């Protein structure tokens, strides 16, 4: 029987959903929205549980975002860092994968609203992540792409490589320099990595490839509004990162508030910096799906959840990953990025499901183990050919 119900007008239809209380024989349906780190690993950890899992994603692939900047700088290809969700979960017999965009969640009737249909759930795990925020300046999107998807990475790759080609053809020295100036706005982890990679490309990779320009003369400028790079990390780490960036030849400007971006470059305060390639790594905001829950959100639009990742007041809805702001000490504190991931949360949704649905005879000790994930770039050389050359550790502990 198809799981998806096609409807003409979701608002007028009554849900088909029957909660398990009235149908004790039925396995509960757990719907996971989002096949990123949070959603995928929640699904993996429920692979042996007596539930019917449906993972819904608007894309057919899981994306390893930490390696996006290497696709953007032409060091890796898209297929090195993306894998079909359906393939990843092919051996997971309690799971179906649905390629669909979720438009809203109707918590009153336990349904998610899709582009042309709806799907009922007994339990919902929302893991739709975050997207770029241009702080109200959406007109900057076209001039300064961000880096969140394969499409973004390919667009950045194309802009960067074309800039060198344009510079090679440009006779006017000042116009040539604008093609050879790369500005990255935002010195968080993505901005720092991008700046470093661009510096490496211009100083090492492209050496000898051009006749009229010296790629090593390219300016790589990293702008940060706060007083240091990597502002969410310790001061020691910020200092170390700044030193390494300087060694690579990256110009770092802190306390630099960008007031305008257009096709000619960036304005910082009142000072204009001519540049034909500007990249945005300054802000993120939560997936807009959070709003449809009609629950309190933080300033970045993330759902404020309890430490067990449940949404207060909605006992069958969990939010994980970048979409969640976990209450630790009052609502003011949120967990650092890595700890927001479903994997590393002390009480993750699968553990709740284990309590609620696992027959006592089934041994599921391994679900109690915390899966941890570490991404180690220590062995990365400047020109890795495939993701396998990076050491990726996934272990249970
Ligand atoms: C360039 C870059 C480098 C990074 N480097 C690191 C790093 O080194 N270390 C680290 O810990 N973190 C890093 N991160 C952050 C890390 O990737 C995120 O914290 C993580 O991906 C969040 O996982 P998630 O599951 O919450 O969201 P995502 O991985 O973003 O997944 C969200 C999923 O939801 C789907 N989706 C969204 N909206 C809908 C919808 N309406 N309907 C259906 N599906 C939808 C998307 O298609 C996507 O598959 C990096 C991020 C970027 C962008």
Whole-number Å distance, alpha carbon 322 to ligand 1 midpoint, is: 7
**330 with 380, same domain?**
yes
**291 with 266, same domain?**
no
Token pair of 126, please? 């929302």
Rounded average pLDDT over 80-95: 95
Structural domain of 178 = 138-280
Length of the chain: 397
Atom of ligand 1 nearest to the CA of 68: 1
Residue 276's pLDDT band, with cuts at 50, 70 and 90, is very high
Atom of ligand 1 nearest to the CA of 34: 34
Q: Determine the angle formed by the axes of helices 349-357 and 37-45, rounding to 10 degrees.
A: 30
Give catalytic residues, as residue numbers: 193
User: Which of residues 215, 250, 280 is at a domain's end?
Assistant: 280
Whole-number Å distance, alpha carbon 130 to ligand 1 midpoint, is: 7
**147 with 107, same domain?**
no
**Mode of pairing for the β-strands spanning 111-114 and 102-106:** antiparallel
Structure-model confidence comparison of residues 383 and 339, the more confident one: 339
Percent of the chain with pLDDT over 90: 68
Buried b (16+ CB within 10 A) or exposed e, 160-172: beebbebbbebee
Residue 328's pLDDT band, with cuts at 50, 70 and 90, is low
**147 with 109, same domain?**
no
**152 with 189, same domain?**
yes
Residue 3's pLDDT band, with cuts at 50, 70 and 90, is low
Buried b (16+ CB within 10 A) or exposed e, 11-35: eeeebeeeeeeeeeeeebbbbbbbb
Residue among 43, 65, 230, 286 whose CB has most ligand 1 atoms within 8 A, to mutate: 65
Which CATH number do you get for residue 352? 3.50.50.60
Read off the pTM.
0.79
Q: Determine the angle formed by the axes of helices 235-248 and 189-200, rounding to 10 degrees.
A: 20
- Cβ–ligand 1 distance for 67 under 6 Å, the answer no
User: Which of residues 231, 262, 280 is at a domain's end?
Assistant: 280
User: Which of residues 280, 311, 342 is at a domain's end?
Assistant: 280
**119 with 172, same domain?**
no
Q: Looking at the predicted structure, is the pLDDT value of residue 369 above 60?
A: no
Cα 332 to its chain centre, rounded Å, is 23
Out of 6-10, 117-121, 184-188, 384-388, least confident range = 384-388
**146 with 41, same domain?**
no
pLDDT in tens, 169-199: 999 999 999 999 999 999 999 899 999 999 9
Bridge partners of residue 221, in order along the sequence:
183, 251
**121 with 145, same domain?**
no
Structurally, the chain folds into a number of domains equal to 2
Residue 260 to residue 15: CA distance in whole angstroms:
48
**30 with 158, same domain?**
no
Rounded average pLDDT over 285-302: 94
Whole-number Å distance, alpha carbon 169 to ligand 1 midpoint, is: 38
**34 with 154, same domain?**
no
Number of helical H runs and strand E runs in the chain: 11, 24
Q: Looking at the predicted structure, is the pLDDT value of residue 18 above 80?
A: no
**50 with 87, same domain?**
yes
**105 with 149, same domain?**
no
pLDDT of 368 reads 26
Cβ atoms within 10 Å, residue 44: 17
Helix (H) or strand (E) holding 266: strand 265-268
């Amino acid at each position: 029987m198809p799981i998806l119900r096609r409807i003409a007008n979701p608002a007028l239809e009554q849900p088909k959903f029957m909660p398990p209380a009235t149908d004790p024989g039925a396995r509960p349906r757990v719907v996971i929205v989002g096949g990123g780190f949070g959603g995928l690993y929640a699904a993996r950890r429920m692979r042996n549980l007596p539930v019917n899992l449906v993972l819904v994603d608007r894309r057919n692939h899981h994306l390893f975002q930490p390696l996006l900047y290497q696709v953007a700088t032409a060091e890796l290809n898209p297929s090195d860092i993306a894998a079909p969700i359906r393939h990843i979960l092919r051996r997971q017999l309690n799971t179906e994968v649905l390629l669909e965009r979720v438009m809203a969640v109707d918590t009153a009737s336990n349904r998610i609203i899709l582009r042309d249909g709806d799907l009922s759930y007994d339990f919902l795990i929302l893991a739709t992540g975050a997207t770029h925020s241009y702080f109200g300046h959406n007109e900057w999107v076209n001039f300064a792409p961000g880096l969140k998807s394969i499409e973004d990475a390919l667009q950045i790759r194309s802009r960067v490589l074309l800039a060198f080609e344009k510079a090679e053809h440009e006779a006017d020295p000042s116009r040539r320099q604008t093609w050879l100036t790369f500005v990255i706005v935002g010195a968080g982890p993505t901005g720092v990595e991008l700046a470093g990679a661009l510096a490496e490309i211009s100083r090492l990779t492209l050496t000898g490839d051009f006749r009229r320009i010296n790629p090593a003369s390219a300016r790589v400028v990293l702008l940060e509004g706060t007083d240091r790079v990597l502002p969410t990390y310790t001061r020691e780490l910020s200092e170390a990162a700044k030193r390494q960036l300087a060694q690579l030849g990256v110009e770092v400007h802190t306390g630099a508030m960008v007031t305008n971006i257009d096709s000619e470059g960036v304005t910082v305060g009142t000072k204009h910096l001519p540049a034909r390639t500007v990249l945005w790594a300054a802000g993120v905001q939560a997936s807009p799906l959070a709003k449809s829950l009609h629950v309190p959100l933080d300033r970045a639009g993330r759902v404020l959840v309890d430490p067990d990742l449940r949404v207060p007041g909605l006992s069958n809805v969990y939010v994980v990953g970048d979409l969640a702001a976990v209450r630790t000490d009052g609502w003011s504190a949120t967990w650092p990025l890595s700890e927001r991931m479903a994997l590393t949360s002390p009480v993750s949704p699968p553990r709740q499901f284990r309590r609620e649905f696992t027959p006592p005879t089934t041994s599921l000790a391994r679900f109690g183990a915390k899966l941890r994930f570490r991404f180690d770039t220590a062995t990365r050389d400047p020109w890795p050919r495939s993701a396998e050359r990076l050491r990726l550790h996934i272990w249970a502990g």
